């Protein structure tokens, strides 16, 4: 079906409805280019909203750092010390996470009003122009994100960007999932991640350049297990992340098989994640604390699987670069495919 505008708020936030031929629906808002709602049928054919957020688009302006459903940039995840060097120049970024920079800064892409460029069959493209020195980053960066619902019930996300000067660019989507749709706890979801290693972080969750094998650690999801099976283990990385997962996985990505899956035994919904990015952040909702949205979201009531570049790569030469050269085109994709069993 043709994507259509269904609401416009007093401050200009637009809400669009995407729907495929199978009844799968998504609502996208222009504030932060966010996924507001995503309805997927359970094993009995009942539509379930599987993403956290707010019913009222205006409420996203006061989301207290949850990043519900948001497009995140210019750089996803954390940059240590809120600074980096590029072409011999030092750049100081806004430190919105203690002394560090998180998810694009004080007013990252998640807090910008995006422009709708095109609406198609179950698809929408939005754009934003990030001006030179916004949040401290160099270069005028034009960004585009496209959401599409496929006829085989996948949410496809396509990113593109281009800058007139050398800069950093590493985009992601920060949707919180609970495939039960009840958002009481996410810990019973069965999780698989095709990754043999994670990037080690310090007490402030900043990667320090070390790569750790996951075998015989609580971070091993190479065999399917419940999200909560090892979450209470006596492990410093779990404790530093408020008693849960908030860690970057180095993916074994052949481009054909899913890099991760999540399954709810209650609803029968299986979500499979595909991407061309080298990494994925697993986040178990450790900063949710009874936050009121569409419902009340308790601690660890939802999880994120955020495909991304290497975090803090601008300060760790051994990590794959996230530098975008002037005139070069940035492009990437992430797909969340849904089925039932």
What are the C-alpha distances in Å from 148 to residues 65, 123, 126? 26, 4, 12
Quote the CA–CA distance of 170 and 152 in Å, as a whole number: 28
Quote the CA–CA distance of 207 and 250 in Å, as a whole number: 12
Q: What share of the chain is helix, strand, coil (3-state, %, to 5)?
A: 5, 45, 50
Quote the CA–CA distance of 264 and 262 in Å, as a whole number: 7
pTM of whole model > 0.85? Answer: yes
Whether 270 and 235 have beta carbons less than 8 Å apart is answered as no
Return the pLDDT at 63.
85
Return the pLDDT at 161.
98
SS3 9: coil
Return the pLDDT at 64.
81
- Tell me the backbone φ, ψ of residue 328, rounded to 5 degrees: -80, 155
Quote the CA–CA distance of 188 and 96 in Å, as a whole number: 32
> Residue 131 class from Cβ within 10 Å (0-12 exposed, 13-18 middle, 19+ buried)?
exposed
What are the C-alpha distances in Å from 114 to residues 124, 125, 174, 225? 12, 10, 16, 38
Return the pLDDT at 221.
98
Give me the mean pLDDT over the 127-146 stretch. 98
Give me the mean pLDDT over the 102-106 stretch. 97
Q: Which long-range contacts (CB under 8 A, 24 or more apart) does 199-202 make?
A: 199/247, 199/248, 199/250, 199/279, 199/310, 199/311, 199/319, 200/237, 201/237, 201/240, 201/247, 201/248, 202/240
What is the second-level CATH architecture of the domain 4-340? Distorted Sandwich (2.70)
In tens, the pLDDT along 218-254 reads 999 999 999 999 999 999 999 999 999 999 999 998 8
What DSSP string runs through 20-57? -TTS-EEEEETBTTEEEEEEEE-TTS-EEE-B---SSG
Return the pLDDT at 24.
97
SS3 5: strand
CB within 8 Å of 85: residues ≥ 6 apart: 91, 314
Quote the CA–CA distance of 63 and 38 in Å, as a whole number: 19
Return the pLDDT at 215.
98
Helix/strand number for the chain, H first, E second? 1, 29
Torsion region of 205: left, alpha or beta (phi above 0 gives left; psi -120 to 50 gives alpha): left
SS3 59: helix
Return the pLDDT at 61.
95
Q: Which has the closest alpha carbon to 108: 124, 94, 127?
A: 94
Neighbouring-strand partners of residue 221: none
Mean pLDDT, rounded, of the chain: 97
Return the pLDDT at 306.
98
Q: Radius of gyration over alpha carbons of the chain, in Å?
A: 19
The residue behind tokens 């198609």 is 120
Judged against a pLDDT cut of 90, whether residue 263 lies above it is answered with yes
Return the pLDDT at 253.
87
Torsion of CA 100, 103, 108, 110, to 10 degrees: -150
Domain ranges of the chain: 4-340
In tens, the pLDDT along 146-182 reads 999 999 999 999 999 999 999 999 999 999 999 999 9
Judged against a pLDDT cut of 90, whether residue 186 lies above it is answered with yes
Quote the CA–CA distance of 300 and 288 in Å, as a whole number: 6
Q: Which residues are catalytic?
A: 174, 306
């Amino acid at each position: 079906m043709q994507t259509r505008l269904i609401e416009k708020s007093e401050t200009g936030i637009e809400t669009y409805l995407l729907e495929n031929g199978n009844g799968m629906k998504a609502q996208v808002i222009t504030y932060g280019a966010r996924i507001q709602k995503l309805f997927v049928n359970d094993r009995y054919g009942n539509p379930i909203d599987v993403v956290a957020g707010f019913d009222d688009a205006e409420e996203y302006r006061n989301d207290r750092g949850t990043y519900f459903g948001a497009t995140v940039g210019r750089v996803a995840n954390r940059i240590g010390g809120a600074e980096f060097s590029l072409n011999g120049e030092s750049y100081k970024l806004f430190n919105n996470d203690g002394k560090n920079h998180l998810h694009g800064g004080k007013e990252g892409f998640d807090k910008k009003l995006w422009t709708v460029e095109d609406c198609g069959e179950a698809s929408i493209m939005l754009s934003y122009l990030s001006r030179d020195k916004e949040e401290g980053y160099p270069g005028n960066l034009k960004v585009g994100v496209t959401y599409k619902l496929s006829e085989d019930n996948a949410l496809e996300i396509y990113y593109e960007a281009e800058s007139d000067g050398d800069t950093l660019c590493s985009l992601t989507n920060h949707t919180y999932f609970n495939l039960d749709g009840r958002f009481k706890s996410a810990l019973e979801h069965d999780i698989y991640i095709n990754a043999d290693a994670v990037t080690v972080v310090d007490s402030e969750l900043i990667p320090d350049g070390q790569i750790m094998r996951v075998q015989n650690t609580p971070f091993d999801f190479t065999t399917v297990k419940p999200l909560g099976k090892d979450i209470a283990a006596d492990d410093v990385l779990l404790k530093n992340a408020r008693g849960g997962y908030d860690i970057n996985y180095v993916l074994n990505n052949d481009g054909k098989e899913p890099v991760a899956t999540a399954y709810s035994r209650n609803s029968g919904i299986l979500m499979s994640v595909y991407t061309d990015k080298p990494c994925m952040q697993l986040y178990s909702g450790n900063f949710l604390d009874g936050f009121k949205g569409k419902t009340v979201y308790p601690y660890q009531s939802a999880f994120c699987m955020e495909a991304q570049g290497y975090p803090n790569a601008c300060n760790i030469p051994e990590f794959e670069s996230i530098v975008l050269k002037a005139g070069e085109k940035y492009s990437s994709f992430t797909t969340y495919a849904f089925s039932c069993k």
